Amino acid sequence: SILRKHAASAAKAAAAEPVPMPDVEAAPEDTLVLDPHTLKDLEVFNTESCGKSLFEFYDQTVTQGGSFALRQRMAFPFADAHRIRQTQQSVSFIRANRGVFSKIPFYIVGRVVKYQKDPLMFVTHKNQFDFTLGALSLKFGDPHHYHRIVRGVQYSCLLIRALREFLDQHELTNGEGEIATVCEEMQQLLSKTGLCKVPEFEVGDASLLKMLRLDQIFRIHEKNSIERLVALIFQIDSLLSMTDATVKNCYVIPEILDGDTRMQARGLVHPQVECAVSNDLRLDQNQSLLFLTGPNMAGKTTYLRAAATALYLGHLGMGVPAESFSFVPVQRLFSSITVTDDVHTGTSYYLAEVQRIKSIASAVAEGFRVVAIMDEPFKGTNVKDAFEASLAVMKRLESKSDCLFLFSSHLIELGEHFETSTRIKKCYFEARETEGRLQFDYVLNPGVSSQRLGMRVLSEEGVFELLDSAT
């Protein structure tokens, strides 16, 4: 259709222009805060791999403004259960009534925005005589500007008529959540402001005076109303994108719980791992710390990322990659996976690790509801210090209420110190041997791993053979 063709063109145009990054440091209240390190670890906006960031993976918007609105949502997920449910209701409603939203003329919006921003001349006079003189002066004195104004007026009228048709659809009377609020505000803007004077008919043949009176409405008297309408369209575009991603990937809408912090998943996978093996997860105030062990390449880091990503998507109000998922909203989500030293500041690798754990500890000490994943911390020091540091940190995390922690380590001896602990859940991944080669099934098992494969992997990769053959 013509609308889809224009929408596709708009999408390409939007993709060609960089969209500003949200200011994560200025997170509003009632949002789930992810610091820049966590955003990087979870690859929310950027990735150092050859794949896509989460934003790129889920961005199916057709306007540049919609893309920015989605970025804002992903930078500042809701922490309030009611607001998350409002978005969930919208996603469910859109999924059931997707065709209703095809009446929104997304392809026009960019042209209306350009018309509003262009430094075009105004005819501002109120009395008829002066207005007529000003109109004639504009049309014949600067015809190029006049024709740009005419096109802007035509696009604005077309947008308003299309929005009226969109809002007149009976399906929207049953709209829920954010969509209901957005549509109600649109209706008020179109009926209770000067925009109600915009005619239902085509304005292509309107008189000079009529055209410039409409220009006054759009760019002077109701400029704020037009800008607000456009902003609401961008919000709908972002919600459509989240819904389309949920449907396309067969995601489940999570259950939002009340009470003490907890999360539970069945059939959890990472959204960007193809043919992923699914696993379960359950953490609550009876078992609030997961101690995860297993050899390298067995799946520990991917599992941690999958858990954090699912919780993050759940706070956005969209579907998550699992068979079922439920959680109590939290206030802070931390990740400590990729830690680096900094030669410019003199920060060693170990100090960087300690500072990362300190960030988590600070949020816990301030009383926030925290979920934190820590992937093999304290690798930057000797084994004895790493063991003692891990033990000391885990003992303290174990006693913290209303928070959840996922802690992976190669130090399997730590498991012996927590054999009698009821608040620490112990799970592991392992490798199996098939025809003399290691195979990973990526299946989570209860308990602590006893596998030590460092020497085995070096041997299988031929490192020793190469060194022994060197002269």
In a domain, 388, yes or no: yes
Task: Report the pLDDT value the prediction gives residue 11, as an integer from 0 to 100.
Answer: 43
In a domain, 47, yes or no: no
- Same domain for 330 and 402, yes or no, is yes
- Same domain for 307 and 453, yes or no, is yes
Who's near 141: CB < 8 A, 6+ residues apart? none
Burial 238-277 (b: 16+ CB within 10 A, else e): bbbbbbbbbeeeebbbbebbeeebbbbbeebbbbbeeebe
Pick from 93, 365, 369: nearest CA to 258: 369
Q: In this structure, what CATH number is given to the domain that contains residue 378?
A: 3.40.50.300
- Same domain for 187 and 260, yes or no, is no
DSSP tag of 443: -
Task: Report the pLDDT value the prediction gives residue 196, as an integer from 0 to 100.
Answer: 84
- Same domain for 294 and 171, yes or no, is no
- Same domain for 458 and 423, yes or no, is yes
Tokens 């959204």 belong to which residue?
271
Task: Report the pLDDT value the prediction gives residue 233, as an integer from 0 to 100.
Answer: 96
Tokens at 77, concatenated: 């997920």
pLDDT per residue as tens, the chain (471 positions): 333 334 444 444 443 444 445 555 556 678 999 999 999 999 999 888 778 999 999 999 999 999 999 999 999 999 999 999 999 999 999 999 999 999 999 999 999 988 777 655 555 555 554 555 555 555 555 555 666 777 888 888 899 999 999 999 999 988 889 999 999 999 999 987 778 877 765 555 555 567 777 877 877 778 899 999 999 999 999 999 999 999 999 999 999 999 999 999 999 999 999 999 999 999 999 999 999 999 888 899 999 999 999 999 999 999 999 999 999 999 999 999 988 877 888 888 889 899 999 999 999 999 999 999 999 999 988 999 999 999 999 999 999 999 999 999 988 889 888 888 889 999 999 988 777 778 889 999 999 998 887 788 888 788 888 988 876
Domain coverage including residue 235: 2-28+60-248
Who's near 63: CB < 8 A, 6+ residues apart? 10, 11, 14, 106, 109, 110, 233, 234, 237
In a domain, 48, yes or no: no
What does pTM read for this prediction?
Answer: 0.88
Which of 248, 267, 301 is the C-terminal boundary of a domain? 248
In a domain, 16, yes or no: yes
Task: Report the pLDDT value the prediction gives residue 455, as an integer from 0 to 100.
Answer: 81
In a domain, 41, yes or no: no
- Same domain for 227 and 280, yes or no, is no
Number of compact structural domains in the chain: 2
In a domain, 381, yes or no: yes
- Same domain for 218 and 355, yes or no, is no
- Same domain for 187 and 276, yes or no, is no
Q: Where are the alpha helices (DSSP H) in 104-191?
A: 106-117, 128-141, 143-167, 177-191
Burial 173-194 (b: 16+ CB within 10 A, else e): eebbbbbbebbeebeebbeebe
